[in-house]
Amino acid sequence: MKERKLMDQISAVFGIFMTVFYIGVGLYLILAKNLYMLDPFLKNIVGFTFLFYSIYRGYRSYISIRNAFFTKGDNEQRTLL
């Protein structure tokens, strides 16, 4: 079971990096002025979609970090959405 806990910890940390990535892409799409090939309305819709998904992904990462790093034993319930 140690390998399972290690993999849970690695995927939890990876989830945080992906959350930061989605926030960055969303903000770039919303704030960038030099994207002439995209319609501004479509650019904002996609940017806000990335931001909302990053909030959801951040919540899931919080739950998985709490379970992977701060639970004791194998009998604890692992809650993932």
Quick: pLDDT tens for 19-48.
999 999 999 999 998 888 889 999 999 999
Cβ pair 80, 64 in contact under 8 A: yes
How does the average pLDDT of the chain come out, rounded?
88
Cβ pair 81, 63 in contact under 8 A: yes
Domain ranges of the chain: 2-70
Q: How far is the first Cα of the chain from the last one, in angstroms, to the nearest whole number?
A: 22
